[in-house]
Amino acid sequence: MLSLTHPETQNPWLGLDIQSEWERFSQRHQAEEAIWTSHVWVEKMHCAACSGRIEQSLKQMPGVLGVYASAASKRVKIVWDASRTHPSAWFQNFNAIGYPALPVTEYHALTDRTREQRMMLWRLVVAVFCMMQVMMYAYPTYVSASNDITPEMIQLMKWASWLLTLPVMLFSATPFLSQAYLSLRQRQLGMDVPVALGIVVAFVMSTLATFAPGSWWGDVTYYDSLTMFVSFLLIGRWVDVKLRNRTAGALENMMRRIPNAVQKKSDDGQWVQIAASNINVGDILLVLPGEVFAADGDIMVGATSADESMLTGESEPVIKHQGDRVIAGSGNLTAMVEMRVEQVGAGTQYHALVNLMASASTEKPGIALLADKLAQPFLWFVLLAALFAVIFWWTTDPVKAVMAAVAVLVVTCPCALSLATPAAMLASAGTFAKGGVLIRRLQAIQAMSEVDTIVFDKTGTLTDSLLHVQQATLNTEAHHLPIYDVLASLTQRSLHPVSKALHQFALTQGGQVGLVLNEFEEIVGGGLQANISIQAMPVSAVKLGNAAFCGAIERSEDALTRQVYLMSGQMQLACFDLVEEMKANTQLAIQQLISQGLDIQLLSGDKIAPVLRLASQLGIPVALGLQKAEDKLQRVQTLQRQGHKVLMVGDGLNDGPVIAAAHISIAMGSGVPLTQAQADMVILGNDLSVLVSLIAHCKKTIFIVKQNLVWAAVYNAAGVPLAIMGWLPAWLAGLGMASSSLLVLVNALRLTHWQKGQV
């Protein structure tokens, strides 16, 4: 396991330069093999200024193409060129600028954030204990008359207070002091700089008043105020860590699902324990009740029920019989089973979903970029305001001048401003993930709140992607041929929804798989063809597909069903009528969306008649059939030019271009992986009623973000004048700063409750 600290004379991350090592926390770019995207966890990134420093520093490195840092999730996404740089170089850079980093896989091997929470709690306990003791010594001087306490006793209490303040300075306040030192060493301005400056000035002023009274700094000490506002800051930081764990916890929960070790059947039939990272395709694994499936595969022995809620959002257990598929990350609930591994690691659906979540946790929506841009200028404003306070009061009261400057430095720390957006966004993203909706980009939440038009695909979105054979018309002249055997064998290799429906139908009609196929080929947009050798047909070219592909005489264009023809040469063996069934809750969902004032449109590549029939059933006013991918794209672009904010919902490969071009896009969980990779959100459970409450919750999220931003702005606008005028003591400034950040986080917690299907 890697360490967060290391001697500056060596680079302990050189081992990560081996490709097999960086692959554990990186993904290769689809278009260019040398381009990789890596995700790392950063320990000390707390605010927008921190993330800005990290981005600015790493972007200057050769071979680093992009850096996206999120203080709210403490994650950084790095896009880099393996031909020009390696992970050890930019991990070394992290440490050099004072932000030790770990690969996300190493971070999750740690005991989560317990170490950070425990240390923060210890710092808080020390600060609060010392604060109470210091207040005990300070209180008599506040309530007693001038002659009630002798000067010697007052001096003794000052020395005691100084001693009690030392642990606060040397231990409790070190997170603020060390980060400020690192910022200044890098010649950059972080949010801990004004806070640390205020702490140091207050301590120095009090120390001078204790050991060398009588000069311009007077003999008044501020140990009580100092220890109090350090305590308030630590309370805020500790609660901040706990709240961030809660709001961003969905990703951590998903990434911790895979067990560290599994039971594998060896060659001699014995069960041996191996590391989950050593699982290979074809292995037989034993999964006990209560354990999590570590890979995608099929059940070989036994039957059970699986909890797939983490991956699909469906709370009901799914019954799994022999031969059924199980998904990595789902839980085995009821019985011991044996499974054969079909996909491991990056090939599993679980890994793809985790990558979607990891990318979302580092994305910055447009409304968050505003806070990042304001962070550095605002810090300079804070320093200038503190300087103004010194100049304003110096001629009349130097002590008040310094303490007013300290109050300005503490009260205006823009932590609330930097947390306003990411706290709310990550709270919603985590909540959506628990409900079966994955967010690829946090910008999608803001975009979803602006939608006024929704364009739906039909098959797989509004209707089930699995078709049903309504009628089979067989050629009576071919009664001597095993038509259902031919159909079952021909469709066995295809994954197309039509082929799946026909294969299942053939098996129910007594068809058997086993005929020899020669020169099998699947033609996109056409169908299947092969040469089949059977006794009644020694060598025959068989085709299965639409009329144009098979050369059959097509029925009327207005037919409400989809016709698929089975041909042998020029002879038609059979014609199958397939129909789609509307998904459950679709009609109610469409009605609710229309009632919200949204413009609903239906674009489908299917024939016009079934498209119009479905639109009529659902009450959709605009419906177009025979739409190719370029037609859908042109339609959506036309709507966008008219000023509409378009949401595209689809699941097919031909929906990829329009999904990428829309203002906001959603792919259904049954959709092809490429479509899901291009979409902004993925609805795993395929329940369209989720969309209704999803839009409402996104609007609520943006409303809370605006609330947070307004509060942060009002708080700072009110606090600066009060501090400059000397009406805000240092301890109250610390309380105000901590309370401001906590209010923003607590407000964001309102977004952790979401009931699907309810507006």
pLDDT (0 to 100) of residue 355: 61
334 & 414 share domain: no
CA nearest neighbour of 291 among 265, 257, 251, 250: 257
48 & 99 share domain: yes
Highest-pLDDT range among 181-195, 241-255, 587-601, 705-719: 587-601
Q: What is the mean pLDDT of residues 248-262?
A: 62
Number of domains in the chain: 5
pLDDT (0 to 100) of residue 246: 53
pLDDT (0 to 100) of residue 194: 79
Highest-pLDDT range among 12-16, 214-218, 508-512: 508-512
pLDDT at residue 361 is higher than 60 = no
9 occurs within a structural domain: no
Q: What does the pLDDT look like over 597-626, one tens digit per residue?
A: 888 888 887 777 788 888 888 888 888 887
pLDDT at residue 225 is higher than 70 = yes
708 & 692 share domain: no
pLDDT (0 to 100) of residue 286: 92
CATH number for the domain that contains residue 275: 2.70.150.10
153 & 243 share domain: yes
pLDDT (0 to 100) of residue 47: 65
Positions of E strands within 227-307: 261-265, 271-275, 284-287, 296-301, 304-307
pLDDT (0 to 100) of residue 314: 52
CATH number for the domain that contains residue 542: 3.40.1110.10
CA dist list (Å): 53 to 11, 56, 69, 250, 649: 21, 5, 9, 27, 38
Least confident of 78-82, 281-285, 667-671: 667-671
- 69 with 24: CB under 8 angstroms? no
pLDDT (0 to 100) of residue 183: 76
242 & 374 share domain: yes
pLDDT at residue 522 is higher than 90 = no
* CA dist., res. 700 & res. 751, Å (int): 8
85 & 146 share domain: no
Q: What does the pLDDT look like over 342-352, one tens digit per residue?
A: 888 766 767 66
504 & 555 share domain: yes
3 occurs within a structural domain: no
Q: Report residue 734's pLDDT band, with 50, 70 and 90 as the boundaries.
A: low
Report the chain's mean pLDDT, rounded to a whole number.
Answer: 78
Q: Report residue 4's pLDDT band, with 50, 70 and 90 as the boundaries.
A: very low
* CA dist., res. 277 & res. 167, Å (int): 45
123 occurs within a structural domain: no
Which domain range does residue 85 map to?
14-109
52 & 139 share domain: no
Using the 3D structure, point to which of 559, 579, 599 is the last residue of a domain. 579
CATH number for the domain that contains residue 673: 3.40.50.1000
Sign of the torsion angle spanned by Cα atoms 323, 325, 329, 334: negative
- 662 with 467: CB under 8 angstroms? no
- Higher-pLDDT residue of 617, 144: 617
pLDDT at residue 341 is higher than 80 = yes
pLDDT at residue 169 is higher than 90 = yes
Residue 246 has φ and ψ, to the nearest 5°, of -75, -45
pLDDT (0 to 100) of residue 178: 85
Q: What is the mean pLDDT of residues 395-411?
A: 80
117 occurs within a structural domain: no
602 & 455 share domain: yes
pLDDT (0 to 100) of residue 109: 41
Residues with Cβ within 8 Å of 504's Cβ and at least 6 positions away in sequence, in order, are none
Q: What does the pLDDT look like over 75-90, one tens digit per residue?
A: 888 999 988 998 888 8
pLDDT (0 to 100) of residue 353: 60
454 & 557 share domain: no
747: number of Cβ within 10 Å: 18
Using the 3D structure, point to which of 548, 579, 610 is the last residue of a domain. 579
Share of the chain above pLDDT 70, in %: 80
Q: What does the pLDDT look like over 18-71, one tens digit per residue?
A: 887 787 778 787 667 788 888 887 877 766 667 777 888 888 899 998 888 877
Using the 3D structure, point to which of 542, 562, 579 is the last residue of a domain. 579
Structure tokens at 659: 């999904």
CA nearest neighbour of 162 among 88, 212, 92: 212
pLDDT at residue 681 is higher than 70 = yes
pLDDT (0 to 100) of residue 273: 86
- Higher-pLDDT residue of 587, 160: 160
CA nearest neighbour of 314 among 333, 330, 290, 332: 330
Share of the chain above pLDDT 90, in %: 5
Q: Report residue 161's pLDDT band, with 50, 70 and 90 as the boundaries.
A: very high
- 4 with 43: CB under 8 angstroms? yes
CATH number for the domain that contains residue 57: 3.30.70.100
384: number of Cβ within 10 Å: 11
pLDDT at residue 738 is higher than 80 = no
4 occurs within a structural domain: no
Using CA atoms of 408, 414, 417, 422 in order, give the dihedral in degrees to the nearest 10.
-160
- Higher-pLDDT residue of 615, 13: 615
pLDDT at residue 206 is higher than 50 = yes
Q: What does the pLDDT look like over 636-648, one tens digit per residue?
A: 888 888 888 888 8
pLDDT at residue 154 is higher than 80 = yes
529 occurs within a structural domain: yes
Q: Report residue 2's pLDDT band, with 50, 70 and 90 as the boundaries.
A: very low
Q: Which DSSP helix (H) or strand (E) runs through 661? A: helix 656-661
Q: Report residue 334's pLDDT band, with 50, 70 and 90 as the boundaries.
A: confident
37 & 158 share domain: no
pLDDT at residue 234 is higher than 90 = no
pLDDT (0 to 100) of residue 366: 53
CA dist list (Å): 330 to 29, 105, 284: 28, 19, 17
Q: What is the mean pLDDT of residues 569-593?
A: 83
Tell the burial category of 5 from Cβ atoms under 10 Å away from its Cβ (0-12, 13-18, 19+).
exposed
Q: What does the pLDDT look like over 712-732, one tens digit per residue?
A: 778 777 888 888 887 877 667
451 & 596 share domain: yes
352 occurs within a structural domain: no
349 occurs within a structural domain: no
